[in-house]
Amino acid sequence: MNTTDKCCTIVPYFKIPSEHMESFKELCEQFVTKTREEPKCLYYGFCFNDDQAHCREGYEDAEGLLAHLGNVGPILQEALMISELTRLEIHGPEEELSKLREPLAHLNPAFFTLTCGFRR
């Protein structure tokens, strides 16, 4: 595939026990505040469905995604103490995914390679 689109998305899903939902939502506000400072973040936000949360997020490239994880690391650790990461996907072109496979291996994500498409 020949594209200039280097966008990488990280697609996490969390399961939150009801007794921790309000605390988790407070952490979401902290995530948003910290992430707003990141120059390579294209979009960011949390969506909820009953006891599940999804963070909808995209970055200009692999470096932006890694910078984000470094930026929010302590908040993520707090979130993982009160929730379960049930699924993690990383989406992007192979050139960018190759930069993420080793640093993210400990999270055991599913990597989805962009093969066709466009970006406006």
C-alpha–C-alpha distance, residues 23 and 97, integer Å? 32
pLDDT at residue 65, rounded to an integer: 98
pTM: 0.94
The whole-chain average pLDDT of the chain stands at: 96
**What percentage of residues in the chain have a pLDDT greater than 70?**
98
Q: What distances in angstroms separate CA 7 from CA 11, 59, 104, one per listed residue? A: 13, 6, 17
Fold of 8-113: Alpha-Beta Plaits (3.30.70)
C-alpha–C-alpha distance, residues 1 and 10, integer Å? 21
Helix (H, G, I), strand (E, B) or coil at 24: helix
**DSSP code for 115:** -
